[in-house]
Structure 1
């Protein structure tokens, strides 16, 4: 009996560039936050999140006055989740350039909706 094999050869970003590790987001340019330069952020902590973390993120979003039928698709929710998955505060993500903020949003939503 032959088993079905699924093999990932490469993951591409929105610019069709190969991503070595899909949980590491490369910034378009160095990003300075609290006196330190960052060229990337590691989102591997997404794998350790729970539904409780998502509920807490939604509560933070609601307390800020934001409302969304699908919060997991919003940029602010993605920033809150990314902060939960890393050692950075949400302000780190809110200070990113628009291009890099969208990269974060795409990786977070891709994590939620990606194939198992």
Structure 2
């Protein structure tokens, strides 16, 4: 396999790791991916805090775990980054993150 293919293979998303289409800069640091493998370690209390943050920001849904706002709140806890990180991330990347969180919550 040519070296180029090996480099591309390294960009393939690993379970729980979202690789961005292009680097994203937040607070002076460049991110090429976000590791959501911490989803596996979330506790009920973590999910309650995410729910509280979701409702405190004025959001409501009968099924909050399917909303972008709730999913990004859970992702912030799992990744150990501030909520603001996810508010500034490009939309396409936010949707990838939402899909990963929803997939985790529904498995």
- Pick the TM interval, shorter chain: 0.7 to 0.9
What is the aligned length? 97
Deviation at 1:19, TM superposition (A): 4.6
> Larger Rg: 1 or 2?
1
Structure 1 residues 60 and 88: CA distance shift in structure 2, 3 A: same
Deviation at 1:20, TM superposition (A): 4.3
1:64 paired residue number: 57
Alignment of 1:13-28 (within 5 A): 19-28=12-21
Q: Which has the higher helix share?
A: 2
Q: Considering only aligned residues, what root-mean-square deviation do their CA atoms show, in Å?
A: 1.4
Structure 2, unmatched stretches of 5+, are 1-10
TM-score (normalizing by structure 1): 0.79
| Residue 45, structure 1, aligned to residue 38, structure 2 | yes
TM-score (normalizing by structure 2): 0.85
Write the distance in 2 (CA, Å) between the matches of 1:75 and 1:61. Answer: 10
Write the distance in 1 (CA, Å) between the matches of 2:21 and 2:84. Answer: 18
Q: Which runs of 4+ in 1 moved over 4 A?
A: none
SS in structure 2 at match of 1:76? helix
Write the distance in 1 (CA, Å) between the matches of 2:80 and 2:45. Answer: 18
